[in-house]
Amino acid sequence: MLVFENDYSFGAHPKVLEELCKTNMAAASGYGSDGFTASAMEKIRKAIDCPDAQICFLTGGTQTNQVVIDCLLKPYEGVISCVTGHVNGHEAGAIEHSGHKVLALPHHEGKLRAEDIRQYIDGFYGEEAFEHMVFPGMVYISHPTEYGTLYSKQELEELRAVCDQYHIPLYMDGARLAYGLMSERTDVTLQDIARLTDVFYIGGTKCGALCGEALVFTKRNMPDHFLARIKQKGALLAKGRLNAVQFDALFTDNLYEEVGAHAIRMAALLKKAFADKGYPFHMDSPTNQQFVILTDEQMQRIAHHAVFSRWEKLPDGRTVVRFATSWATTKEDIRALSEIL
CB of 186: closest distance to its own copies in angstroms? 24
Kindly identify the residues of this chain, within the stretch 93-152, that bind its own copies according to CB under 8 A.
93-94, 96-97, 99-102, 126, 128-129, 131-135
Which backbone phi and psi does 290 adopt, to 5 degrees? -120, 130
| 293 bridge partner residues | 320
Judged by beta carbon, residue 184 or residue 312, the one nearer its own copies is 312
CB of 35: closest distance to its own copies in angstroms? 12
CB of 336: closest distance to its own copies in angstroms? 14
The answer to whether the CB of 181 falls within 8 A of the CB of 255 is no
Q: Please state, in angstroms and rounded to a whole number, the distance separating the CA atoms of residues 169 and 148.
A: 23
Kindly identify the residues of this chain, within the stretch 218-237, that bind its own copies according to CB under 8 A.
224-225, 227-229, 231-237
Q: Which helix (H) or strand (E) holds 301?
A: helix 296-303
CB of 338: closest distance to its own copies in angstroms? 19
Kindly identify the residues of this chain, within the stretch 57-76, that bind its own copies according to CB under 8 A.
59-67, 70-71, 74-76
Judged by beta carbon, residue 186 or residue 326, the one nearer its own copies is 326
Closest to 202 measured CA to CA, from 189, 188, 218, 216: 216
Q: Which helix (H) or strand (E) holds 180?
A: helix 177-182
SS3 state at 246: helix
Give exposure, 44-66, as e/b (b: 16+ Cβ within 10 Å).
bbebbebeebbbbbbbbbbbbbb
CB of 240: closest distance to its own copies in angstroms? 10
Judged by beta carbon, residue 38 or residue 133, the one nearer its own copies is 133
Judged by beta carbon, residue 17 or residue 160, the one nearer its own copies is 17
Kindly identify the residues of this chain, within the stretch 247-306, that bind its own copies according to CB under 8 A.
none
Judged by beta carbon, residue 29 or residue 295, the one nearer its own copies is 29
